[in-house]
Structure 1
Amino acid sequence: MQSPLPQTWDLDKFFPGGSRSESFGKYLVQLEEDLKELHARLRELKAPQTAGEADTLLPVIDLLQRVVLSLREAASFTGCLAAENQHDKAAVMLGGRVKAIEADYATALTLFDDLLTRVGKEAWAALLANPEVADITYPLEERRALAADKLPPEQEALINDLAIDGYHGWGELYNTTVSKLRISYEEKDGTVKELSAGQAANRMHSPDREVRQKLFRLWEEKWAEHADYCADALNHLAGFRLKLYERRGWQELHKEPLAINRMSQETLDAMWSVIEGGKDSFLRYLERKAKLLGVPKLNWYDVEAPVGEGSLTFSYDQGAALIVEQFRRFSPKMADFAVMAFENRWIEAEDRDGKRPGGFCTSFPASEETRIFMTYAGTASNVATLAHELGHGYHQHVMNDLPALAQDYAMNVAETASTFAEMVMADAAVKAAASEAERLTLLEDKIQRSVAFYMNIHARFLFETEFYEERRQGLVGTERLNELMLSAQKRAFRDALGEYHPHFWASKLHFYITEVPFYNFPYTFGYMFSTGLYAEALQRGEAFEEQYIALLRDTGRMTVEELAEKHLGVDLRKPDFWQRALDLSVADVEEFLRLT
């Protein structure tokens, strides 16, 4: 790879000029015109009843898929602009316009779904038998079934329109709140720095406990100052969802997120049950880590702190080289993809003010490219995040030639691809460590991710479930939100910590994402599913690369239970697969205990 690698992404490849791009303005106009045409066709088209009439649906399906790709392209562009510079007001305005187009598309999708429900049995069978829709039969059948479980299309369309300034508006308010947040931090030399939320979050992984503790105090205080705004947003987001569920006649809180993730309640219960039964090993790890850090119990800000060679850092070029090297041991194609992403400026990694916190990978499917966002500070955790997001990018890369509806894979399997890439890199790095001290550091960083998925994410799931139950009865105040968060954290961590993070509900963006409710358990599913996949990779050797690609390409075309049965021969509704995955994580803990 070239050196030094660029650390800023290229968005001009899509639309030159950023938030002032004339070409993007024209692109949105064309997208709006295509949407108008889609609406008109859907209103004019009569639902076919006979086999001979089935082909009348094909032009509408083609137009809808073209709109999907264009809309994803537009949303990715505005999302990238807003993330790279939270002070770019023009980007925020463009994002609002795209949200409005998305609402208009959601209305068109409602009309499309209603049309599918009215197609006659003979015509439906003929449509699904048509080779032109072979790759999208599952999403078509899924849309037809889900539509029958919703309100009449006119009411669903009205909800979509009202959601722009209501439901989604509260999510935007949260984003604005975060963009204004600044933490004044005094360095040991007396200089004072104004840290954004993203910069402060990175600094809380410092090997210096005094730094972590000081920043955590400031972090909690700052979120306490903003808590009322966050509580308003969270309450109204939940209230909107609950009222919608009530009108649709849905009683189960997890009905929508499970449907979105194409998984059953039995699978979710089996996964959490195995995790609950295996937490003792992770409690031993937390106890040992506390001893190594010289404290009676870990506090929240200690859980992700490094041990051993805590100063182990990687320049951006070193981190990139490590990722490519480890990817290549498993999959030359995945390594080649990573090289392309690094060299062609698909990654925004520069550590600077004004960027939003966190990391993500977003797709530009019409251009068949992706873009990755993060703030790289050189920690082992940063390298893992970079590998994680490249895994997302590779997932999209192998699906680029599929129809738009077949590319619509759920969050849980999306997180499978990303955490699998992270695991390939992390496990190989541990095995190739130059010394016992380096091995310990890398192994401990790997275990931290297990703790995050089995305990931190579990706390989020427990909190959100309890919060929604209470929200049915009315607004939930800031203090009560803190209490619910503390209770969930203590239960998930089995009271293993000395101090917790009561304002975590305010500081975590995931609770405020309007597109996906319960933006938590899919992460744990993805982590455990990818762990099981990794075990398969170790057994199957070189043959697994093509099998893995085949699995990824099927993620938008079946339920997760069907996916696991077809490609792995396992039943996710039973504990066996989950236990094997957990055992691999426990083996890491046992090795850590041996090394320390």
Structure 2
Amino acid sequence: MLRSPARPDSDLPRDAATDTGAGPLGDLPEWDLSDLYPAPDAAEVKRDLDWVEEACERFAADYEGKLADLDAAGLLDCVLRYERIDLTAGRLMSYAGLRYYQQTTDPARAKFMSDCQDKITTYTAPLVFFSLEINRIPDDRLETHFEANAELARYRPIFERLRAMRPYQLSDELEKFLHDQSVVGATAWNKLFDETIAGLEFDVDGEILGIEGTLNLLTEQDRSKREAAARELARVFADRLPLFSRVHNTLAKEKEVEDRWRGMPTPQTGRHLSNHVEPEVVEALRNAVVAAYPKLSHRYYELKRKWLGLDTLEIWDRNAPLPMEETRTIGWDSARKMVLDAYTDFSPRMADIATPFFDKGWIDAGVKPGKAPGAFAHPTVSDAHPYVMLNYLGKPRDVMTLAHELGHGVHQVLAAGQGELLASTPLTLAETASVFGEMLTFRKLLANARDDAERKVLLAGKVEDMINTVVRQIAFYDFECKLHAARRNGELTPDDINALWMSVQAESLGPAFSYMDGYETFWAYVPHFVHSPFYVYAYAFGDGLVNALYAVYEEGNPDFQEKYFEMLKAGGSKHHKELLAPFGLDASDPAFWDKGLSMISGMIDELEAMEN
């Protein structure tokens, strides 16, 4: 339950790149991390590290071997002490992680994060017994405790999630070993991947760029520039392919070993348990999306091929702007106004929650050497506030990314009232507020479109984003499923992984595309596969859920805004069935996903109608 560095609890960098255009962006904000700690060498950092060490030792001395004998009040005191440790350790790791992602190539920042991780891992080792002993308490005794103490009963979801792991729990000794070993296992490989990606250099027509700037070129109007960027990405990835292959082989094998020892039936089981979602719900989502490939991505990209006047699309055309699209740069102040206006139209309360992000140093927006690519929102801890990271380059898609990450931020602010252990939302619902924020912003821009040409560009852009969020992420999920299944049969060569990647690309993108030599390596830069295996279906889950939710909003559901805020405030305290019930929605109904996908299909219908 203790949190790891910034990225696993964050919205990981998104797939869509952005475009610079021309003109000034204005003053881009930077993080002020002093709300967490004044400096890495501040006395407060040492104070909290020392406190965590002592608190963990005292916690183990007071409770190890005794949890089953506690009465309800004693168990509540135990949970509250555990929560305070989680809060303090989370503050330390949030600060270390955020500083690191500002400049991953800075050895001092990398050392500070590693040292914090090592210390927190060591100090919290005595707490491993907590979940193991909780899972040995008989069900009827725990239920009696909940009935006797309402405050303890509030933590029921935490106990339920812990106890969901009971069938897969190892011995106390092995669990402690895995805890101690983690800093030289997945954590170390994650760090190697991050530092490698951040340090890559790409030479595009004589200009040396990092990965963010190079991916950004894939949305240039100039097709030759897009092609040059794609080919340079392929060249650099190919040079590092042995390393990326080693990272994936090692992490997949490590996961297979732990899953085998735990008796996990599938590589995906751990993710489903942590997301508090049933495997059949994810399978229904996956199957609905794959079945819809022909009427979604295949149909849209055939339209785009015609718009671009090409016999076949190359991979560098996937995120190309439309010929009728204006090349423009949106300054930071304009982006802020667009998003806050859209939030205000939905509810002034939503804009009020979002405004401090702009005014108080809660956003780091600029593109800088060594900065982690993409965008995320990190909740930090429940007695502080979230931080949003962007790589803002002034494209309309960047405005949507801002709306997306601010949605996360609003969600995290509201959920913080649940306290440290209950604030964190399972990944399946973590994308709800972010995608909803994007939808509000898109609908605002669409309503203000000057003519059919602008409406067409907006609709096409939204369809592309939805395809990236739904179709592409489910293809990513299928790639991971194939990768982990294949790794169980032995070491995978780079060519093996390349072949798995291409097997899902052609299926999901459709017949409008040709694939350049080198595209088979593009799995190498996707951070989700490294940091959070099987994370990616959460994007599709969130988009489908929000499409259904937005349809309820448009239908005029009574008190929708209040129900929406109550859902966000719940954090991780309720199951998705309970959260969606007030809106008349049920994600376990296979037909639920078809409703969400029909919204995308309907937008493509409208685009096709514009051709006639």
- Residue 313 of structure 2 is aligned to residue 294 of structure 1: no
Deviation at 1:26, TM superposition (A): 3.1
**Which among 470, 491, 504 is matched to residue 475 of structure 1?**
491
Indicate if the aligned counterparts of 2:57 and 2:126 stay in contact, CA closer than 8 A.
no
Write the distance in 2 (CA, Å) between the matches of 1:556 and 1:575. Answer: 23
- Residue 593 of structure 2 is aligned to residue 593 of structure 1: no
Q: Are the structure 2 counterparts of residues 488 and 115 from structure 1 closer, same or farther at C-alpha, using a change threshold of 3 Å?
A: same
1:533-574 alpha-carbon deviations (Å, 9 max, x no partner): 11122223672111011112334123323433x333333222
1:554 is matched with 570
1:11 is matched with 33
Indicate if the aligned counterparts of 2:587 and 2:593 stay in contact, CA closer than 8 A.
yes
In the TM superposition, what are the counterparts of 1:20-59 in structure 2 within 5 Å?
A: 20-43=41-64, 45-48=66-69, 53-59=71-77
- Residue 241 of structure 2 is aligned to residue 223 of structure 1: no
Write the distance in 1 (CA, Å) between the matches of 2:472 and 2:388. Answer: 24
Q: Are the structure 2 counterparts of residues 579 and 221 from structure 1 closer, same or farther at C-alpha, using a change threshold of 3 Å?
A: same
Aligned length: 582
Deviation at 1:54, TM superposition (A): 2.5
- The SS at the match of 2:450 is coil
**Which among 574, 589, 597 is matched to residue 574 of structure 1?**
589
Q: Are the structure 2 counterparts of residues 294 and 81 from structure 1 closer, same or farther at C-alpha, using a change threshold of 3 Å?
A: same
Indicate if the aligned counterparts of 1:20 and 1:90 stay in contact, CA closer than 8 A.
no
- Opposite residue 139 of structure 1, the aligned amino acid is I
2:166 is matched with 147
In the TM superposition, what are the counterparts of 1:410-421 in structure 2 within 5 Å?
A: 410-421=426-437
Indicate if the aligned counterparts of 2:383 and 2:416 stay in contact, CA closer than 8 A.
no
- The SS at the match of 1:140 is helix
- Opposite residue 40 of structure 1, the aligned amino acid is A
Indicate if the aligned counterparts of 1:107 and 1:156 stay in contact, CA closer than 8 A.
no
- Residue 426 of structure 2 is aligned to residue 426 of structure 1: no
Write the distance in 2 (CA, Å) between the matches of 1:404 and 1:586. Answer: 40
Indicate if the aligned counterparts of 1:380 and 1:442 stay in contact, CA closer than 8 A.
no
- The SS at the match of 2:165 is helix
- Opposite residue 284 of structure 1, the aligned amino acid is R
2:19 is matched with none
TM-score computed with the length of structure 1 as normaliser = 0.93
Write the distance in 1 (CA, Å) between the matches of 2:238 and 2:87. Answer: 40
Single out whichever of 376-385 and 77-86 deviates more from structure 2. Answer: 77-86
In the TM superposition, what are the counterparts of 1:201-240 in structure 2 within 5 Å?
A: 201-240=215-254
- The SS at the match of 1:361 is strand
Indicate if the aligned counterparts of 1:555 and 1:563 stay in contact, CA closer than 8 A.
no
Indicate if the aligned counterparts of 2:545 and 2:587 stay in contact, CA closer than 8 A.
no
Write the distance in 1 (CA, Å) between the matches of 2:146 and 2:515. Answer: 56
Single out whichever of 99-108 and 489-498 deviates more from structure 2. Answer: 99-108
2:204 is matched with 185
Give the superposed CA RMSD. Answer: 2.1
Deviation at 1:260, TM superposition (A): 1.3
1:189 is matched with none
- The SS at the match of 1:328 is helix
- The SS at the match of 2:208 is strand
Write the distance in 2 (CA, Å) between the matches of 1:344 and 1:288. Answer: 44
Q: Are the structure 2 counterparts of residues 8 and 397 from structure 1 closer, same or farther at C-alpha, using a change threshold of 3 Å?
A: same
Larger RCO (alpha carbons 8 Å, 6+ apart): 2
Write the distance in 2 (CA, Å) between the matches of 1:261 and 1:443. Answer: 32
Deviation at 1:400, TM superposition (A): 1.6
Deviation at 1:297, TM superposition (A): 2.2
**Which among 419, 442, 449 is matched to residue 465 of structure 2?**
449
- Opposite residue 579 of structure 1, the aligned amino acid is D
1:174 is matched with 193
Which ranges of structure 2 fall in alignment gaps of 5 or more residues?
Answer: 1-24
In the TM superposition, what are the counterparts of 1:283-432 in structure 2 within 5 Å?
A: 283-307=298-322, 308-432=324-448
- Opposite residue 601 of structure 2, the aligned amino acid is V
Indicate if the aligned counterparts of 1:415 and 1:523 stay in contact, CA closer than 8 A.
yes
- Opposite residue 172 of structure 2, the aligned amino acid is P
Q: Are the structure 2 counterparts of residues 240 and 185 from structure 1 closer, same or farther at C-alpha, using a change threshold of 3 Å?
A: same
1:99 is matched with 117
Write the distance in 2 (CA, Å) between the matches of 1:351 and 1:170. Answer: 25
Indicate if the aligned counterparts of 1:68 and 1:404 stay in contact, CA closer than 8 A.
yes
Write the distance in 1 (CA, Å) between the matches of 2:279 and 2:68. Answer: 34
Question: Percent identical across equivalent pairs?
Answer: 26
TM-score computed with the length of structure 2 as normaliser = 0.90
1:180-199 alpha-carbon deviations (Å, 9 max, x no partner): 2111222xxxxx43211122
Q: Are the structure 2 counterparts of residues 250 and 178 from structure 1 closer, same or farther at C-alpha, using a change threshold of 3 Å?
A: same
1:94-134 alpha-carbon deviations (Å, 9 max, x no partner): 22133335534774553111221233455412321212124
Deviation at 1:380, TM superposition (A): 1.3
Write the distance in 2 (CA, Å) between the matches of 1:366 and 1:552. Answer: 14
Indicate if the aligned counterparts of 1:73 and 1:366 stay in contact, CA closer than 8 A.
no
- Opposite residue 315 of structure 2, the aligned amino acid is W
1:215-273 alpha-carbon deviations (Å, 9 max, x no partner): 11001111111111111111110101100111111222221111111111221122122
1:521 is matched with 537
Single out whichever of 92-101 and 419-428 deviates more from structure 2. Answer: 92-101
In the TM superposition, what are the counterparts of 1:529-548 in structure 2 within 5 Å?
A: 529-540=545-556, 543-548=559-564
Write the distance in 2 (CA, Å) between the matches of 1:522 and 1:366. Answer: 23
1:86 is matched with 104
In the TM superposition, what are the counterparts of 1:239-258 in structure 2 within 5 Å?
A: 239-258=253-272
Q: Are the structure 2 counterparts of residues 456 and 38 from structure 1 closer, same or farther at C-alpha, using a change threshold of 3 Å?
A: same
- The SS at the match of 2:415 is coil
**Which among 168, 181, 189 is matched to residue 162 of structure 1?**
181
Write the distance in 1 (CA, Å) between the matches of 2:450 and 2:52. Answer: 53
Write the distance in 2 (CA, Å) between the matches of 1:44 and 1:471. Answer: 39
Q: Are the structure 2 counterparts of residues 542 and 94 from structure 1 closer, same or farther at C-alpha, using a change threshold of 3 Å?
A: farther
Which ranges of structure 1 fall in alignment gaps of 5 or more residues?
Answer: 187-191
Write the distance in 1 (CA, Å) between the matches of 2:61 and 2:607. Answer: 62
In the TM superposition, what are the counterparts of 1:102-141 in structure 2 within 5 Å?
A: 102-104=120-122, 107-108=125-126, 110-121=128-139, 123-129=141-147, 130-141=149-160
2:8 is matched with none
Indicate if the aligned counterparts of 1:419 and 1:526 stay in contact, CA closer than 8 A.
yes
- Opposite residue 166 of structure 1, the aligned amino acid is G
2:14 is matched with none
1:361-420 alpha-carbon deviations (Å, 9 max, x no partner): 112324431111111001111111111111111111111221222112211211122111
